């Protein structure tokens, strides 16, 4: 069953990726939530003292996946094959899907189809214990950072699509504060650890500068 279309009828998708309670990663997630509550997002994204960078990036990647999943879930009824026949972020940016295994050559597809491919692909990466080990003491693979960067780069595209194509719906649903906070947290995180190339962020560059200037 595909990740999103199976639950098309429900208004939001339930995040499928849970960090097991009692695990060290769960403690890290709780730490992240507590610092987020302080309202200082720049501080909230910093690597906690004595923690492993890979683990911190893993926990936050799972968290962003869940957040974006829920945010997109609220607007799926407006993001359809006919309203969004291509996956884009405004007129200048169009995304084609390839995962390197099932689909090697990038294909042009509608936004809902692209996001379905994307979320299913991310879910598979997060569930892969060799890539995202959930047990203490199991080392992260050597290519972990490049996998995490690819996941985050692609998740950014969902934010970019929502902002460019569906922001009016977000406003109607009174969710703009939630979207803005989630995106700001995401951007501060990827900036802190230099996880997404600046060129990739171009579709939302103005917004990113605006969000950043408020925190200086």
Q: How far apart are CA 7 and CA 199, in angstroms?
A: 34
Phi, psi (degrees; rounded to nearest 5) at 97:
-95, 135
Q: Is 161 annotated as a binding residue?
A: yes
Q: Which CA distances in Å does 53 have to 30, 46, 127? A: 16, 10, 19
Residue carrying structure tokens 């950043």: 212
| Count of other CB atoms within 10 angstroms of residue 64 | 23
Question: Whole-prediction pTM value?
Answer: 0.86
Q: Is 84 annotated as a binding residue?
A: yes
Cα first-last separation, the chain: 45
- Residues 143-171 have pLDDT tens digits of 999 999 999 999 999 999 999 999 999 99
pLDDT reading at 109 higher than 60: yes
What CATH class is the domain 24-213? mainly alpha
More confident site: 2 or 27: 27
Contact between residue 215 and residue 192 where contact means Cβ atoms under 8 Å apart: no
Q: Is 178 annotated as a binding residue?
A: no
pLDDT reading at 124 higher than 80: yes
pLDDT reading at 43 higher than 90: no
């Amino acid at each position: 069953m595909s990740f999103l279309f199976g639950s098309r009828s429900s208004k939001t998708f339930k995040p499928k990726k849970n960090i097991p309670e009692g695990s060290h990663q769960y403690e890290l997630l709780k730490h992240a939530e507590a610092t987020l509550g302080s309202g200082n997002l720049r501080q909230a994204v910093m690597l906690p003292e004595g923690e492993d960078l890979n683990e911190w990036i893993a926990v936050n990647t799972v968290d962003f996946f869940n957040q974006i999943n829920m945010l997109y879930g609220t607007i799926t009824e407006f993001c359809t094959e006919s309203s969004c026949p291509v996956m884009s972020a405004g007129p200048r940016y169009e995304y084609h899907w390839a995962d390197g295994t099932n689909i090697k050559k990038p294909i042009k597809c509608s936004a809902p189809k692209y996001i379905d491919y994307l979320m299913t692909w991310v879910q598979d990466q997060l569930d892969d214990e060799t890539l995202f080990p959930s047990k203490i003491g199991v080392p992260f693979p050597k290519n972990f950072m490049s996998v995490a960067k690819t996941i985050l780069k692609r998740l950014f595209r969902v934010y970019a699509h929502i902002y460019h194509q569906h922001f009016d719906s977000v406003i109607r649903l009174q969710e703009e504060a939630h979207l803005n906070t989630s995106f700001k947290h995401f951007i501060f995180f990827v900036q802190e650890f230099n996880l997404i190339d600046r060129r990739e962020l171009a579709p939302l560059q103005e917004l990113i500068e605006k969000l950043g200037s408020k925190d200086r």
